[in-house]
Amino acid sequence: MKKSQNEIILKLLKTHKNGINGKHAYKYAHSMNLPQRIHDLRLQGHEIESEYVVVRNDFGEKFRVKQYRLVR
């Protein structure tokens, strides 16, 4: 049976202790709306923190993205 995006995102949060961002969500869960998936998981009772981090794109330019981390 195929896993839902929420299930895949939750598994990513459990395995990536430093957190995940939208690039992870798209690559592994084909989700283009990570904030909504995080909202769904929070409604299920998962405690998830978020913060802005600076990353580089494929051209070496810096920009901020929101990164999410599972607390418990």
- Domain map (residue ranges) of the chain: 5-70
Burial (Cβ within 10 Å: 0-12, 13-18, ≥19) of residue 64: exposed
In this prediction, residue 57 carries a pLDDT of: 87
With a cut of 90, say whether residue 3 has pLDDT above it. no
pLDDT digits (tens, 9 = 90+) for 8-62: 999 999 999 999 999 999 999 999 999 999 999 999 999 999 999 999 988 999 9
- This prediction's pTM: 0.87
With a cut of 80, say whether residue 72 has pLDDT above it. no
CA pair distance 11, 5, nearest whole angstrom:
10
Cα atoms found within 13 Å of the Cα of residue 37, Cβ hemisphere only: 26
